[in-house]
Amino acid sequence: MLHETIAKDQPVRRWDDYVVPQCWESFTSEDHAVWDLLFARQLELLGTRVVSAFFDGIDLLKLSHPGIPDVEELNRILEPRTGWRTVAVPGLVPDDIFFAMLSERVFPVGNFIRAREQLDYLEAPDCFHDMFGHIPLLAHHDYAEMVEHVGRLGTAAIAAGEGHRVARIYWHSVEFGLAKERGELKILGAGLASSFGESHFSLESTKVERLPFSAERAVHTPYRHDAFQPLYLVSDSLEQTIAEVLALTSEELLRL
Ligand SMILES: [Fe+2]
């Protein structure tokens, strides 16, 4: 995520100014083969290490269909289910634009995929991270509502000059959160679910801290975007994360 100051005299930017056509037909057979390789490798690596709603989303959205998903085809299933839709963007979007998109149940996905030579190194999130990591849980009704709420919180926090507060909530839940499920530690965050190296590390490393998730702790816990996290926040369940975040008002977020 980017952290920038928005000048007062800057023209108002709209989120749809950042949307580009996915140009699905322009993906090469090599691009699709890289997706298939990443998809198969990651599912095998994850086993049952992600919250079960993630796998429900993979099935519901037919993400195991070979090749990079076409955003329009994906939206034909996702939008009637939870009101979320995906749009293509050429790379990271500014934080204010990102949260404005979320507040309207729009999720930006990169219109590119990494090269085979860079399977495990990403300069910017590509469509594998965005679609494999983020989209399955957006088929879950309550999670879908939570992410929309994060969008609204983000817009309000940025307007108050406190964007880092919501960025940390987002990071420690949607991107790098862990959650228990039937007593077992599971991956919740998209950054972990889509990572070859950090998925097992987050669950199994003895060199990191894992502390109980709360909105207050998340707001006060900085994060790394250039290395594996030194600390993960663990909620009692997917439902606990959703309930905590949904209960948070913009005013409370600024007071925490
Ligand atoms: Fe992400």
Residue pLDDT, tens place only, 72-106 = 999 999 999 999 999 999 999 999 999 999 999 99
Mean predicted confidence (pLDDT) in 188-217: 96
Chain-centroid distance of CA 32 in Å reads: 22
0.85 exceeded by the pTM?
yes
**Pairing assessment for the beta strands 106-110 and 209-212 based on DSSP bridges:** unpaired
Query: How far is the centre of ligand 1, averaged over its atoms, from the C-alpha of 148 (Å)?
Result: 15
- State the Cα–Cα distance between residues 131 and 194, nearest whole angstrom: 9
pLDDT of residue 6: 46
Which of 12-16, 83-87, 114-118 is least confident?
Answer: 12-16
Query: How far is the centre of ligand 1, averaged over its atoms, from the C-alpha of 1 (Å)?
Result: 9
pLDDT band at 12 (very low <50, low <70, confident <90, very high): confident
Mean predicted confidence (pLDDT) in 243-247: 98
Query: Are the C-beta atoms of 188 and 182 separated by less than 8 Å?
Result: no
DSSP state of 20: B
pLDDT of residue 225: 84
Query: How far is the centre of ligand 1, averaged over its atoms, from the C-alpha of 192 (Å)?
Result: 9
Query: How far is the centre of ligand 1, averaged over its atoms, from the C-alpha of 202 (Å)?
Result: 16
pLDDT digits (tens, 9 = 90+) for 160-182: 999 999 999 999 999 999 999 99
Mean predicted confidence (pLDDT) in 100-113: 98
Query: How far is the centre of ligand 1, averaged over its atoms, from the C-alpha of 12 (Å)?
Result: 25
Query: How far is the centre of ligand 1, averaged over its atoms, from the C-alpha of 135 (Å)?
Result: 10
Mean predicted confidence (pLDDT) in 34-40: 98
Query: How far is the centre of ligand 1, averaged over its atoms, from the C-alpha of 193 (Å)?
Result: 10
Query: How far is the centre of ligand 1, averaged over its atoms, from the C-alpha of 194 (Å)?
Result: 9
**Pairing assessment for the beta strands 231-235 and 184-187 based on DSSP bridges:** unpaired
Query: How far is the centre of ligand 1, averaged over its atoms, from the C-alpha of 174 (Å)?
Result: 8
Query: How far is the centre of ligand 1, averaged over its atoms, from the C-alpha of 29 (Å)?
Result: 25
Query: How far is the centre of ligand 1, averaged over its atoms, from the C-alpha of 7 (Å)?
Result: 26
Query: How far is the centre of ligand 1, averaged over its atoms, from the C-alpha of 244 (Å)?
Result: 20
Residues present in the chain in total: 256
Query: How far is the centre of ligand 1, averaged over its atoms, from the C-alpha of 176 (Å)?
Result: 9
CA angle 133, 39, 70 (to 5 degrees): 75
Query: How far is the centre of ligand 1, averaged over its atoms, from the C-alpha of 137 (Å)?
Result: 12
pLDDT band at 122 (very low <50, low <70, confident <90, very high): confident
Cβ contacts of residue 52 below 8 Å, gap of 6+?
Answer: 181
Mean predicted confidence (pLDDT) in 138-158: 98
Q: Where are the alpha helices (DSSP H) in 61-214?
A: 71-82, 95-103, 127, 141-159, 163-170, 190-193, 198-204
Query: How far is the centre of ligand 1, averaged over its atoms, from the C-alpha of 127 (Å)?
Result: 10
The fraction of the chain above a pLDDT of 70, given in percent, is 96
Query: How far is the centre of ligand 1, averaged over its atoms, from the C-alpha of 190 (Å)?
Result: 6
